[in-house]
Amino acid sequence: MAIFITEAILQINPDADVRVANNNIDQIEWLNGTPEISKADIQAKIIEMENSPKPEWLEPEGESEWAILEKNLKLVRIICWTHLQQVLQQVIV
């Protein structure tokens, strides 16, 4: 399963506001005062998520369905924005 960097960042800090160009760990823009997360921590979270038998970030235990939906919608928004940026970069170049 391919894990997007934004997914890992949101697992570490659900309130993070970031922009990641080309799903590249070296192209993370931290927005609105979001504290930076180290590359090592992000990479460790990606490995953890890839090796998780049932990704807890999809269905965290004890959370309401609305809370899960809200987190997943934020993740979808960030992933869509990242893909849109990639497409626009290809069109501009």
32 CB neighbour count, 10 Å cutoff: 8
Domain ranges of the chain: 5-92
Predicted structure pTM score: 0.58
- At residue 21, what are phi and psi to the nearest 5 degrees? -85, 130
The per-residue pLDDT for range 13-45, each reduced to its tens digit, is: 999 999 998 889 999 999 999 999 999 999 999
For the chain, give the mean pLDDT: 81
Spatial separation of the C-alpha atoms in residues 51 and 55, rounded to whole Å? 9
Can you give the pLDDT at residue 83? 76
The per-residue pLDDT for range 68-88, each reduced to its tens digit, is: 667 777 877 888 777 777 777
